[in-house]
Amino acid sequence: MRLLVALLLALGTTPGLAASGKVSELSWLTGSWAGPVGDQLLEEIWNAPRAGTVAALVRMGGDAGTSMMEMIVINEEHGSLTLRIQQFSPTYEPRFPAPGVLALTALDENTATFKADQPGGLQQIVYVREGDTLTITVTLPDGNLFEAELSAR
């Protein structure tokens, strides 16, 4: 059993246990990013880490107008990082009664993985930066994947 727990810790996938991290380790997210998602454009603007927080404003839209706005806030909590995410309609009505909450489970120099410990919302978000490309992979509540490849602006 100890070997299994040690292996899961090393992989960053132990249920209920968060990986250690500080928002300063997410400085590679900072900047303005954009890329196509179908016939729409997904834009993310990440603030530099400061005062234990890093945040992003997200917009998706196309020729018909804005389809979604989103706020992402990552806070330092208990030696790890917690991501909170809330989507809004174009008229700024929340799409969900409360923000989704995901805990950091893995972090290295250009990858961060956040997982939810509750069913019903987004189950996982993975950010990977390679050069001027930011790839975001989201595991939706039904288990399907949403992936976006964004370029630095």
Domains of the chain: 16-152 (2.40.128.20)
Determine the pLDDT at residue 119: 85
Q: Are 132 and 21 in contact (CB under 8 A)?
A: no
Place of tokens 């630095």: 152
Tokens 């410990």 identify what position?
117
- pLDDT in the model for residue 16: 53
DSSP 2-42: HHHHHHHHHHT--TT-PPB--GGGGGGG-EEEEEEETTEEE
pLDDT at 9: 36
Q: How far, in whole angstroms, is CA 146 from its chain's centroid? A: 12
pLDDT at 18: 83
pTM: predicted TM-score of the whole model, two decimal places = 0.87
Tokens at 43, concatenated: 């834009």
What confidence score (pLDDT) does residue 43 get? 98
Burial of 111 from C-beta contacts in 10 A (0-12 / 13-18 / 19+):
middle
Full pLDDT tens readout for the chain, 153 residues: 333 333 333 344 444 568 999 999 999 999 999 999 999 999 999 999 999 999 999 999 999 999 999 999 999 999 999 999 999 999 999 999 999 999 999 999 999 999 998 888 999 999 999 999 999 999 999 999 999 999 999
DSSP state of 64: T
Determine the pLDDT at residue 3.
35
